[in-house]
Amino acid sequence: MEKDRFYASVYEAIQEVPYGKVTTYGHIARLIGRPEYPRGVGTALKNLPSDANLRFNESSVPWQRVVNAKGSISPRGPGSQRRQADALGQEGVEVSQDAMGEYSVNFGEYGWFPELLPSEEAEMAQEQES
């Protein structure tokens, strides 16, 4: 199904976000060729399986490295924001919390926004050979 391919693309793209860096839902959407559907990236993450036997699951996909365009951790279930903030802190990403309780990261220091996925660059290089 098309949606499954979309999910897989989302997970694959997120796996290329480097340790200690963060990117946005919108950026992932653009990287996989669906610039108009950043919301789908969020949906895919919401449905990320916990089952360790599956190819894509909570430990194989660095879900914590995805934040919203404002640089903050998107609100969802209670405690979930805190969990993500902790996960990021674990890998050296500073997460600050404002008076409103909103967690955010500094893109200048931690942002990761390539034009192409590293894997795609590799393919491009491959084609150059002759």
Partner DNA sequence: GTTTTGACTAGCT
Partner DNA sequence: AAGCTAGCCAAAA
Binding pattern to DNA, positions 64-103, x when CB under 7 A? --x-xxx---xxx---x---x-------------------
| Options 5, 33, 47, 123; binder of DNA; rule CB under 7 A | 47
Q: Cβ of residue 128: shortest distance to DNA, in angstroms?
A: 31
3-state per-residue secondary structure call for the chain? CHHHHHHHHHHHHHHCCCCCCEEEHHHHHHHCCCCCCHHHHHHHHHCCCCCCCCCCCCCCCCHHHEECCCCECCCCCCCHHHHHHHHHHHCCCCCEECCCCCEECCHHHHECCCCCCHHHHHHHHHHHCC
39 contacts DNA (rule: CB under 7 A): yes
CA distances from 106 to 20, 22, 109 (A): 12, 9, 6
The nearest distance, CB 8 to DNA, in angstroms, is: 12
# of chain residues touching DNA (CB under 7 A) = 31
CB of 89 to DNA, least distance (A): 15
Contact residue for DNA among 12, 18, 20, 48 (CB under 7 A): 48
- Please report, as ranges, the residues that interact with DNA according to CB under 7 A: 2-3, 6-7, 24-27, 29, 36-43, 45-48, 63, 66, 68-70, 74-76, 80, 84
